[in-house]
C-alpha cells in the first residue's frame, strides 16, 4: 500500500543586503548564554544560538569551539542562546547591535526572527553570518554550513544499505522530517527524497507516512510516530531527520518490541545517537563535525571584525525564497554506521568515557574502542 502524508515547510519573507566590516579589538571575555541578552557592551562578535532542545550541540559544542577561536584571536565574544523563543532571539540580536557588536553570527530559529535580527544589524552596518541554517530571504552576508542535500542523500543511501543488510522485504518507509521552519530540514528532505522517490515510483519501496516535526521536538516526534504506527503498523523502515527524532522513534518501537528490527536513520552523531547504533536500534547517523564548522564561521567573523580581506573559500548558494546568492563556506558531511564509530573515538570526536558507559562497554570492546 502507499500512504502519502505530505507536509509543506513554512518559510518567512526576507531581503538581501551586503554590508561592510568593522574595526578590531584586543579584548577578550567569557562567552555567555541566557534567555535574555544583557551586560555585554562594546566591540565584540555576537553569537545567537537557537535553543537547547533540538540538539545538544547548541549547549555542549558550538559555544565552546566558537569561544576558543575568538579567545585565541583576542577578540571579545558574546554567545547567547535564545532558548527556543523567536521573540527572545530578536531581543538578543537587537541588544547586541545596539550595544556595539561589530559582527553577528546567528543560527536562526525561524525566518521571521532571523530576518528581524539581520535587518537590525544591517541598519547599523553590522555584517551577519548565517550559521548552520540559512535565513531564507534574509540577506545575510555569508553562510557557513554543511551541504544539506548531501546530508539527506547520506541518510537515504545508508537506509537503503540497512534495509538490504536486514533483508527487509517490501519496505514501507516512514519519514519524520525536521522542523518546517528550518530551511535545513527542507534541504535534508530534498536530498533523501531524491534517492527514495524513484524507489517509491517503481514499487521497490512503499512510501509510508511523511510528516514534519515542529521545532525538532522529541515529544512531538513521539506523538507523531505513535500515530503513524497506529495508522500503518507494517512500517518497517524510518527516515528520521536527526538523532533526537530517531531516539523518539526508537522509544516507540521499543514499546512494540520492534526496535532493532526496523532500521532508523539519524543525524548529528550525538553520543545518544552513537549509543543507539551500538545497541543495534539505529542504523546510522550523519557526522557534521561541529569544530570545523565553528572554526570556519569564527574565521569569517574575525576577518570581518578586523576589516581584512576574507580568507575563506566560498561558493554561491542560492536563497530559494529571494533568488539571491549568498557566499557560502560549504562543509562535507559523512555517514556513520557501526563500522565508523571507532574512527570517531580515535580522532577525538567523542571520547570512550562518553560513549562506552556500562551498557555499551561490551560492544565497544568488540569494536576495539580504546
Which pLDDT score is estimated for 39? 57
DSSP state of 338: G
Are 238 and 343 part of one and the same domain? yes
pLDDT value at 92 more than 80: yes
Which pLDDT score is estimated for 38? 52
Are 90 and 192 part of one and the same domain? no
Are 348 and 213 part of one and the same domain? yes
Q: How many CB atoms lie within 10 A of CB 316?
A: 10
Q: How many CB atoms lie within 10 A of CB 368?
A: 9
- 29 found inside a domain: no
Tell me the Cα Rg of the chain.
Answer: 21
Are 142 and 197 part of one and the same domain? no
Does pTM surpass 0.75? yes
- Give tens-digit pLDDT for 212-234: 999 999 999 999 999 999 999 99
Are 175 and 203 part of one and the same domain? yes
Mean of the per-residue pLDDT values for the chain?
A: 90
Are 280 and 350 part of one and the same domain? yes
Q: Domain with 165 in it: what CATH number?
A: 3.40.50.2300
Are 67 and 126 part of one and the same domain? yes
Q: What is the rounded CA–CA span in Å between residue 271 and residue 264?
A: 16
Write out the three cell numbers for 56.
Answer: 545538544
pLDDT value at 302 more than 60: yes
- Give tens-digit pLDDT for 127-173: 999 999 999 999 999 999 999 999 999 999 999 999 999 999 999 99
Structural domains in the chain (count): 2
Domain extent at residue 78: 44-146+290-331
Are 123 and 157 part of one and the same domain? no
Amino acid at each position: 500500500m502507499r500512504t502519502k502524508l505530505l507536509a509543506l515547510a513554512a518559510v518567512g519573507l526576507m531581503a538581501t543586503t551586503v554590508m561592510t566590516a568593522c574595526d578590531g579589538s584586543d579584548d577578550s571575555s567569557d562567552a555567555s548564554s541566557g534567555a535574555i541578552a544583557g551586560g555585554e557592551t562594546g566591540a565584540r562578535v555576537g553569537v545567537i544560538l537557537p535553543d537547547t532542545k533540538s540538539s545538544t550541540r547548541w549547549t555542549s559544542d558550538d559555544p565552546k569551539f566558537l569561544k576558543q577561536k575568538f579567545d585565541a584571536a583576542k577578540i571579545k565574544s558574546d554567545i547567547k542562546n535564545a532558548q527556543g523563543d523567536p521573540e527572545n532571539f530578536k531581543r538578543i540580536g537587537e541588544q547586541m547591535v545596539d550595544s556595539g557588536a561589530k559582527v553577528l553570527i546567528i543560527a536562526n530559529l525561524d525566518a521571521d526572527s532571523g530576518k528581524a535580527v539581520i535587518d537590525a544589524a544591517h541598519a547599523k552596518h553590522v555584517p551577519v553570518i548565517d550559521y548552520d541554517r540559512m535565513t531564507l530571504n534574509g540577506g545575510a552576508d555569508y553562510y557557513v554550513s554543511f551541504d544539506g542535500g548531501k546530508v539527506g542523500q547520506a541518510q537515504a543511501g545508508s537506509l537503503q544499505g540497512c534495509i538490504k543488510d536486514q533483508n527487509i522485504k517490501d519496505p514501507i518507509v516512514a519519514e519524520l522530517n525536521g522542523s518546517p521552519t528550518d530551511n535545513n530540514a527542507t534541504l535534508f528532505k530534498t536530498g533523501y527524497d531524491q534517492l527514495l522517490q524513484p524507489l517509491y515510483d517503481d514499487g521497490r519501496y512503499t512510501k509510508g507516512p511523511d510528516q514534519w516535526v515542529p521545532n525538532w521536538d522529541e515529544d512531538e516526534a513521539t506523538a507523531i510516530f505513535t500515530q503513524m504506527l497506529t495508522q500503518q503498523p507494517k512500517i518497517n523502515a524510518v527516515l528520521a531527520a536527526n538523532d533526537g527524532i530517531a531516539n523518539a522513534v526508537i522509544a516507540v518501537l521499543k514499546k512494540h518490541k520492534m526496535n532493532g528490527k526496523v532500521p532508523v536513520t539519524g543525524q548529528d552523531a550525538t553520543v545518544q545517537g552513537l549509543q543507539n547504533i551500538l545497541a543495534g536500534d539505529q542504523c546510522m547517523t550523519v557526522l557534521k563535525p561541529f569544530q570545523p564548522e565553528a572554526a570556519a564561521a569564527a574565521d569569517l567573523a574575525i576577518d570581518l571584525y578586523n576589516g581584512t580581506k576574507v580568507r575563506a573559500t566560498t561558493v554561491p548558494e542560492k536563497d530559494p525564497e529571494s533568488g539571491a546568492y549568498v557566499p557560502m563556506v560549504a562543509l562535507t558531511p559523512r555517514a556513520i554506521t557501526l563500522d565508523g564509530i571507532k574512527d570517531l573515538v580515535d580522532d577525538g570526536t567523542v571520547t570512550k568515557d562518553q560513549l562506552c558507559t556500562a551498557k555499551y562497554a561490551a560492544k565497544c570492546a568488540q569494536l576495539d574502542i580504546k
